Chains A and B, each alone.
Chain A
Amino acid sequence: MTVPSPRGVADGPVRMLVLWCPDWPAVAAAATAGVPVTEPAAVFLGNRVVACTAVARTRGVGRGMRRREAQSACPELAVFGVDENRDARLFEAVARAVESLVVGVEVVRPGLVAVPVAGASAYFGGEHPLVERLVDEVSAAAGVECQVGISEGLFAATLAARQGALVESGCGAEFLAPLPVTELDQPGADRAELVDLLRRLGLRTLGAFAELAEKDVSVRFGMAGVLAHRLARGRSERPPLRRRPPPELSLAEEFDPVIERVDVAAFLAKGLAARFCAGLAGQGLACTRLGIYAVTEEGEQLGRVWRCAEPLTPAGVADRVRWQFEGWLKAPPGDRPTSGVARLRLEPEEVVEGRSLQLELWQQSGAGFRMGEDDGLARERAGRAFVRVQGLLGPEGVVTAVLDGGRDPASRIRLVPWGDPREQETAADATWPGRLPAPSPATVLTSPLPVRVTDGEGRDVGITPRRRVTAPPRRLSVAGQPARDVLGWAGPWPVTGGRRSTEHPRARLQMLLDGGPDEPPEAVLLLCAGTDSPLWTIEGMYD
């Protein structure tokens, strides 16, 4: 692989303005849940804080804290889970506010938007007036705080936005020099390993790293190191390999019926993204700036450009299309398009040589071989069949089951549409006190069947608040059928549905029912709720 040499003026990055909404995931989550900005809120992933609001930070919450730790520091903390769709949906309002003042808006990720600064600053009479207008417009239209930074290139401008700095033209490298080298590890850049290595080598600041000769960097750290080195020197991520793609690489699709729901769009986005990336890969290219343009049935034009430091994979393209539809279709009524999307166009605004993607494709097939070649092949074949069925029935038509922890057969199974991530929420092999013992019923009724259970004297059998049966059950009758004898029973296994739901004690029982003359007995799983007027339902059958 040849190392590109610096090429003077043509290599100089464009002056960019970056508008950054701090703590965006936490701000978006709080806004969705209606938590006022004066209250602390934090977003958690895997029991760790990934983002918290400024209010929460002043009360001692920080990134990386465990939930219990964070709540002990700040008991009134509002806790939210990570939801990229929510972040993208709310950020659309910010992007729209910026777009009302300047053209060429590019969303880097929810929370960060970049604009080329040259034309706009001339129009508004300088960079300071432009920044003031932008901050006012965003807080007025979208109701969120933001910080703005201006510098050469996206990387330097992002760091400038963190400090709210307007860096003088041509001083990008000087601005970057004193910053710590850890800043190279921006979200999505995947440079943690490189940054760690640089720190251990004693290169603590970007300036120290930038002083190395590019030749030495390329010998020691390879292509990834050269890219990071270019950033540290205040140059653009890549040498100007970028070129405007010929128009046939864009992909347009008509929809009939029109798309009005996000889940439908998300499903279609997967197929489109695969075709889009395959078309680019056929030319040896990968996309770093993606334009998503939609036309609604009424003829409204919607468009947004997404910028990405790394070349987009099919999954990345699908994510961005889904986020964009979240933003459009779930916007507040005034900003929402009046009808569904009838036409969608994906346009590669900027492409790079697909070399960097090549590696990942290779790794993927490598993983496939490790599992056994047949396994990967069988999975791909099956996946294609499931996607075809999803095409017939909709994305919810094909589901797979994830085994979670739980006490009863229905709550141990979570159904996930095919193609969505299958992540366990709770460990299936953890101990669950009071869990129904194996075997589980082979048939779990989709709608439980109400029955009446009586004791020897014909009185209803119920469950006491201490989860005991009031009398041994003797007979069971389904509405409209003769009563059947209960040959054996076991239980009750108490059902605990939260601490406060004490008004209706609930428990599960297993029963063996007389099948009638010449028929074997049947085993069923029943749920009982209430003491005086108990409600019995058959939940499953051990058939």
Chain B
Amino acid sequence: MTAVLSAQEARDVPDLREEQGRQEVAEPPVARLAALPGVSTASRVAVQAEQARVTGRVLPVAPALAGLLPAAGLRRGSTVAVHGASSLLLALLAEATAAGSWAAVVGVPSLGLAAAAELGVDVGRVALVPRPGVEFPAVVAALLDGVDLVVARAPSLPAAVARRLSARARHRGAVLLSVGSWPGADVELSCRREAWEGLEGGYGHLRARPMLVRARGRGAAARPVSARLWLPGPAGGVARAEPEQLGEAVREEAVG
């Protein structure tokens, strides 16, 4: 599926009317393109995303993260690879577990669960399999049958096994979140952490940290998107960094 208008504009629903005004000028080519199989207009993408969220085909994420993901959430059946930050992983789990989904974390014994609770994860709905050992594929496959979100870290996984597990996630309607790279991931989220705020030469404590998150992937996520987030924000949780800080450098990076 290819979005004719940019995916980012499509997701900003309040801006949609303005977009449609502009769209009318270019009606004939859009109509022609939209008639092609597998091509849809921006408004249709937005409507589909909204519908998917309501019908539960997409697991919710925090509003600050929604802009980074193609369906404005974690689409059931997709595989998302998260590079670089455990806190980003926890922030992705927060909304879905709070809304009643179950999650399992395989092979990440060092996950900070106190931090998870602070970011809004319902810890009671998260099960941990700290050391799956050689049973890793069997464990992940069993969990994909039962829970909505499976976080997995595999030090070395043959590409064929990884593809089989992704296929299982697609079949079962679960979301596979991988810590580190995963062959054939639908969306890859990578982040560049910036300096923490709050330390003042022996006083204060760590308070908030900005982070630049980039998403790229296949299909609907083919166009790279990036956003500057507070993770965690000054009030805890994840928040969008102020618009003036979303400067020209960020836009360029988004294109390139």
**Pair from one complex:** yes
Binds A, one of B60-68, B134-142, B214-222, B242-250: B134-142
Q: Judge whether A430 is part of the interface by a CB distance below 8 angstroms.
A: no
Binds A, one of B37-45, B69-77, B101-109, B154-162: B101-109
Partner of A441, one of B115, B129, B204: B115
Distance, CA A399 to CA B143, complexed state (A): 13
Q: Judge whether B256 is part of the interface by a CB distance below 8 angstroms.
A: no
Q: Judge whether B232 is part of the interface by a CB distance below 8 angstroms.
A: yes
Q: Judge whether A500 is part of the interface by a CB distance below 8 angstroms.
A: no
Q: Which residues of A contact B28 (CB under 8 A)?
A: none
Q: Judge whether A381 is part of the interface by a CB distance below 8 angstroms.
A: yes
Given the contacts A393-B132, A446-B110, A489 and B236 also touching, CB distance less than 8 Å:
no
User: B128 and A399: CB pair below 8 A?
Assistant: yes
Q: Which residues of A contact B125 (CB under 8 A)?
A: 382
Q: Judge whether A175 is part of the interface by a CB distance below 8 angstroms.
A: no
Contact string, B193-211, partner A, CB cutoff 8 A, digits 1/0? Answer: 1111011111111110100
Q: Which residues of B contact A446 (CB under 8 A)?
A: 109-110
Q: Judge whether B30 is part of the interface by a CB distance below 8 angstroms.
A: no
Partner of B112, one of A386, A444, A469, A488: A444
Q: Which residues of A contact B19 (CB under 8 A)?
A: none
Partner of A443, one of B110, B145, B148, B207: B110
Within 8 A of A (CB), among B116-134: 116-119, 123-133
Q: Which residues of A contact B25 (CB under 8 A)?
A: none
Partner of A543, one of B146, B193, B195: B193
User: A490 and B202: CB pair below 8 A?
Assistant: yes
Q: Which residues of B contact A490 (CB under 8 A)?
A: 198-200, 202-206
Within 8 A of B (CB), among A137-154: none
Q: Judge whether B26 is part of the interface by a CB distance below 8 angstroms.
A: no
Distance, CA A443 to CA B198, complexed state (A): 19
Distance, CA A378 to CA B131, complexed state (A): 24
User: B146 and A440: CB pair below 8 A?
Assistant: no
Within 8 A of B (CB), among A403-446: 403, 409, 412-413, 415, 418, 422, 436-446
User: B100 and A375: CB pair below 8 A?
Assistant: yes
Contact string, B78-97, partner A, CB cutoff 8 A, digits 1/0? Answer: 00000011110010000000
Q: Which residues of B contact A400 (CB under 8 A)?
A: 123-124, 126-128
Distance, CA A211 to CA B199, complexed state (A): 79
Partner of B199, one of A438, A443, A512: A512
User: A540 and B112: CB pair below 8 A?
Assistant: yes
Partner of A382, one of B87, B128, B146: B146
Q: Judge whether A118 is part of the interface by a CB distance below 8 angstroms.
A: no
Q: Which residues of A contact B1 (CB under 8 A)?
A: none
Given the contacts A388-B142, A400-B124, A412 and B195 also touching, CB distance less than 8 Å:
no
Given the contacts A378-B102, A392-B139, A512 and B110 also touching, CB distance less than 8 Å:
no
Query: Whose C-beta in chain B lies nearest to the C-beta of A437?
Result: B205
How far does the Cβ of B147 sit from chain A's closest Cβ, in whole Å?
5
Query: What range describes how many residues of A lie at the interface?
Result: 35 or more
- Interface size for B (C-beta < 8 A) is 58
Partner of B111, one of A392, A397, A436, A444: A444
User: B196 and A442: CB pair below 8 A?
Assistant: no
Q: Judge whether A133 is part of the interface by a CB distance below 8 angstroms.
A: no
User: B139 and A523: CB pair below 8 A?
Assistant: no
How far does the Cβ of B86 sit from chain A's closest Cβ, in whole Å?
4
Distance, CA A44 to CA B193, complexed state (A): 50
User: A521 and B202: CB pair below 8 A?
Assistant: no
Q: Judge whether A80 is part of the interface by a CB distance below 8 angstroms.
A: no
User: A472 and B209: CB pair below 8 A?
Assistant: no
Given the contacts A443-B110, A472-B202, A510-B206, A520 and B194 also touching, CB distance less than 8 Å:
yes
How far does the Cβ of A414 sit from chain B's closest Cβ, in whole Å?
10
Distance, CA A301 to CA B207, complexed state (A): 64
User: A389 and B115: CB pair below 8 A?
Assistant: no
How far does the Cβ of B105 sit from chain A's closest Cβ, in whole Å?
10
Q: Which residues of A contact B195 (CB under 8 A)?
A: 487, 512, 520-521
Given the contacts A392-B139, A400-B126, A400-B128, A385 and B202 also touching, CB distance less than 8 Å:
no
How far does the Cβ of A233 sit from chain B's closest Cβ, in whole Å?
48
Within 8 A of A (CB), among B179-198: 192-196, 198
User: B200 and A488: CB pair below 8 A?
Assistant: yes
The interface of chain B, by Cβ under 8 A from chain A, is 84-87, 90, 100-102, 104, 109-119, 123-133, 135, 138-139, 142-143, 145-148, 192-196, 198-207, 209, 232, 236
In the complex, given contacts A382-B147, A392-B135, A542-B87, what are 8 additional A-B residue pairs having Cβ atoms less than 8 angstroms apart? A401-B128, A403-B114, A422-B124, A440-B112, A444-B113, A521-B196, A523-B206, A541-B86
The interface of chain A, by Cβ under 8 A from chain B, is 372, 374-375, 378-379, 381-386, 388-389, 392-393, 397-403, 409, 412-413, 415, 418, 422, 436-446, 469, 472, 487-491, 510, 512, 520-523, 540-543
